[in-house]
Chains A and B, each alone.
Chain A
Amino acid sequence: AQSVTQLGSHVSVSEGALVLLRCNYSSSVPPYLFWYVQYPNQGLQLLLKYTSAATLVKGINGFEAEFKKSETSFHLTKPSAHMSDAAEYFCAVSESTDKLIFGTGTRLQVFP
């Protein structure tokens, strides 16, 4: 069965610093991988998704993620954090037509 592990429930960075949110997955078949962001009192918004095309996936708001099969990882990065990036980020995995399995989330804080 597939699963997702997000290392670090809280990550704090300074404005302008690199953002790195970690996600490792477990899947018996080539997975679909997703990153979603949730702002307070809102639903989830898709940042980006990997579907076996390019291993480096670019998303919205300057975020990108790299699929590394050998490390079973799909870490989310952004070169320069902005105050508006403060939110909770969820990594998710699915196998073929199966349901989405979410990680426990990482809350990103951005300090001025």
Chain B
Amino acid sequence: KAGVTQTPRYLIKTRGQQVTLSCSPISGHRSVSWYQQTPGQGLQFLFEYFSETQRNKGNFPGRFSGRQFSNSRSEMNVSTLELGDSALYLCASSIGTAGVGTQYFGPGTRLTVL
């Protein structure tokens, strides 16, 4: 069974631009969670989607948004990029909701904002 895939793997943007990251969960998984990983802040929860509904959200500004499609694929969007948004963005999927079901992580998208 294929693992969690994330595209693109690397991305370079400039301040003020917007970016969309994509995550394809493991087949049959209905929950997708997104995390931001930086050297200073560590792993921080962004949001979780389950059956196309956002069921949990972390403490991030409204510039960060996401959605989930009927096939469970998820996208994350960041608008008006800031230098501090440079990070590794990780997506994780699980059969059930996050916290109960084991989360399986993708390789991440490395975003660099110049």
Contact with B along A36-65 (1 / 0, CB 8 A): 100001111110010000000000000000
Q: Are B99 and A98 in contact (CB under 8 A)?
A: yes
Q: How many contacting A-B pairs (Cβ < 8 A)?
A: 57
Q: How many residues of B contact A (CB 8 A)?
A: 23
How far is A104 from B43 in the complex, measured between Cα atoms in Å? Answer: 7
Q: How many residues of A contact B (CB 8 A)?
A: 23
For A104, give its contact among B42, B45, B96 (CB under 8 Å). Answer: B42
- Is the C-beta of A72 less than 8 angstroms from some C-beta in chain B? no
Q: Are A100 and B45 in contact (CB under 8 A)?
A: yes
- Is the C-beta of B80 less than 8 angstroms from some C-beta in chain A? no
Interface residues of B (CB under 8 A from A): 4, 33, 35, 42-43, 45, 48, 56, 58, 90, 92, 96-100, 102-108
